[in-house]
Amino acid sequence: MSRLDLNEYLDDAYDPQGPRVPRFRPRKRSQHAVLDEIAQHNPLQVLGADEAFNPTLGASRHEREWIFTFLGPFYEGAYIKDVVRRIKGGKEANVYVCQPHPSLDLDLLVAKLYRPRAVRNLRNDARYRAGRTVLDANGKAVTNDKDLHAVRKGSSYGKELSHTSWLAYEYRALVALADAGLPVPQPVTIGSNAILMEYIGELDMPAPALNETSLNRALARRVFDELVDAIERMLGLGVIHADLSAYNVLFWDDRPVIIDFPQAVNPWQNKEAWDIFARDVTRICQHFTKYGIHTNPIQMARSMWDRQSPTPPMDALAIEREEAGEQL
């Protein structure tokens, strides 16, 4: 039986908001032929059978096949019992609330399901990949010369490897940070195109993002201090979020929870790490100015960097002078 290229077909066929007329390349077949072949390759065999994975989430045919293909293995592995709600849909990933298997001591789980090769939609992704090794689905470094050449060449197979590596880095960052007690969702497992983790919020009330939340000044001060502390501790563990803002911080039970780490960089491996780190700190500081919390974000970032990592690159000094309004 020939291997079905899910990255090739589903990436065009799937619409997170519902069915539409897919834009297939000339060599592709109709959507019905594609979905029929997916069903033939599906390890769960008869989709929707009583003894098989049968999520209660109402979804279009495309989305349902998407869930069967990439979240079905979590069911087979006794991680989830059901997929009950979609709480976020986008160009890069969908986020689903799942009922956990009784063996797990968690009330609810969330599955972050990426579109195949969604990373190609991220602008300037090479900036974040700099210094990274390529990881396989098990989080181990890829050493095969042919595979690495495919990644450098940007072939279809190479893009698939890059996509897998992108997910592996996010999962690895979550594991390291959660183990250290940082305010991130507890990761559970990783699969093909999906990461399963702790759900923050209630079934009918997902935790809002910090930018959607209004705080009193005392609480804002505490949350700000907690985030600054988390940013520095993350830096000490070799993790810079690299896209940190109030949009990527959830707020629940009066506590911040940092999410979305696929682009995280290592401060000792990425030559642009200082600039990326300073940007993260600046965005968080800017958000809290509305609560009367005024800081010098570049000075704050520099102090954290000096305490946790080697001397910043020379262009960091230029950034500081520019922030101070000096003539370069």
Catalytic machinery residues: 243, 260
Looking at the DSSP assignment, which residues form a beta bridge with residue 197?
110, 187
- Residue 191 has φ and ψ, to the nearest 5°, of -135, -170
Helix, strand or coil, per DSSP, at residue 19: coil
Contact 251, 257 (CB under 8 A): yes
Contact 319, 296 (CB under 8 A): no
Q: How far is CA 272 from the centre of its chain?
A: 21
**H or E element, residue 97:** strand 93-100
Specify the DSSP class assigned to residue 119.
G
* Amino acid in the structure at residue 92: E
Interior CA angle at 210 toward 212 and 79, to 5°?
A: 105
Residues 66 and 59: their CA atoms lie apart, in Å, by: 10
Residues 256 and 307: their CA atoms lie apart, in Å, by: 23
* Amino acid in the structure at residue 269: Q
Residues 245 and 238: their CA atoms lie apart, in Å, by: 19
Residues 21 and 33: their CA atoms lie apart, in Å, by: 14
- Residue 39 has φ and ψ, to the nearest 5°, of -60, -40
- Can you tell me which residue has the tokens 């959507």? 31
| DSSP per position, 265-327 | B-TTT-TTHHHHHHHHHHHHHHHHGGGT----HHHHHHHHHHHHSSPPPTHHHHHHHHHTT--
